[in-house]
Amino acid sequence: MAGNVELLNSVLAQARTENRAALVGYLPAGFPTVDDGIRAMTEILDGGCDIVEVGLPHSDPVLDGPVIQTADDIALRGGVKIVDVIRTVREVHAATGAPVLCMTYWNPVDAYGVERFAADLAEAGGAGCILPDLPVEESEVWRKAAAQHGLATVFVVAPSSRDERLAKITAAGSGFVYAASLMGVTGTRESVGREAEDLVARTRATTALPVCVGLGVSDAGQAAEVARFADGVIVGSAFVKRLLAADGDLDAGLAGVRALAGELAEGVRKRA
C-alpha cells in the first residue's frame, strides 16, 4: 500500500484555497497509553486539526522541552514500541481519514530498518515522516525509501539556518517544511517571535513547498498570529499539557484536547 503524501498535499492545498493556515496537532504515541493516545489524536482531528503528527517517543529527545519529555517518559515507561507507533498511525488515519505523519529522531528508524520502517508506515496509511535530527547530506537512503512508498520527507529549518542551507534542505524535502519558530526546545511560549516570520519568508524564497511553523504556539491568539504569515500552524506541547492537567481523568483530558483544537482552528481562520 502506498503512503498518503498526496492526501497531505491536498489537505494543505485545500487550506490555502480557504485562505487560511492548516492546523497541525502533535502527541506522542503511547501517551497516556497507546489506546488512550489514539483516542486523543482522534479527538484532536475531530475537534478541528487538519493533520496530526504522531511522535515516536525517545529517551533523549533533544528538540523537545520538558512537557513533551514528560509525555515521552510516560509512554516509554508504559512499554511503547515502534509497532505501537505504527498501530497509532493506522488507527487514527482509519478513524478520521486525515493525514497522519510520524515525527521521530533518526536512530529508532535506523535501528528498525529504513526500508522496513517506510514500508510499515506507508502500509498503515501514514503520510510521511518528520525527521528533526537527520542531516540532509545523510538522508538519501531514507528519501529513496520514502519516495518509493509514497511518503513525504519533512525537514526542520531553524532561524540559524543560512539562506544557502535553507535552499539545500528545502530542495530535498517534500510535503511541507517544518520551521522552528525560535532557537531552543519545544514548549509553549508567551509570544511567538519575529524570527519565525523572517524564517518563513526566507524559506519561501527557496521553495514552493508549504511552510508550517512549530515550537511555541499554545492558544488561539498565537495561532492567528502565526497563521498570518505561515501555511500551517503546528501545536504540540499545549495538547500534552491538557492531557497532563487532567491528572488521569481521561474523559476530561479528551474533552480538553478537543476544545483546544477547536479554539486553535478558530484562530487559524481569523489571522491576526
Fold assignment, 4-154+218-269: TIM Barrel (3.20.20)
Q: What is the pTM of this model?
A: 0.94
pLDDT in tens, 193-245: 678 899 999 999 999 999 999 977 889 999 999 999 999 999 999 999 999 99
64 is catalytic: yes
**Residues paired with residue 24 on neighbouring β-strands, in sequence order:** 51, 234
Residue type, position 123, single letter? E
pLDDT in tens, 74-127: 999 999 999 999 999 999 999 999 999 999 999 999 999 999 999 999 999 999
Residue type, position 176, single letter? F
Alpha-carbon distance of 35 to 59, in angstroms, equals 21
Give the pLDDT band of residue 187 (cuts 50, 70, 90): very low
Alpha-carbon distance of 246 to 94, in angstroms, equals 26
Residue-level pLDDT at 58:
87
Is 190's pLDDT higher than 50?
no
Catalytic residue among 6, 18, 50, 53: 53
As given in the structure block, the three cell numbers for residue 268 are: 487559524
Helix ranges, 186-231 (H): 194-204, 220-227
231 is catalytic: no
Overall average pLDDT of the 129-158 stretch:
96
The torsion angles phi and psi of 252, rounded to 5 degrees, stand at: -65, -40
The torsion angles phi and psi of 25, rounded to 5 degrees, stand at: -100, 160
pLDDT in tens, 27-65: 999 999 999 999 999 999 999 999 999 999 988 766 667
Residue-level pLDDT at 189:
47
Catalytic residue among 43, 50, 64, 91: 64
Residue-level pLDDT at 62:
63
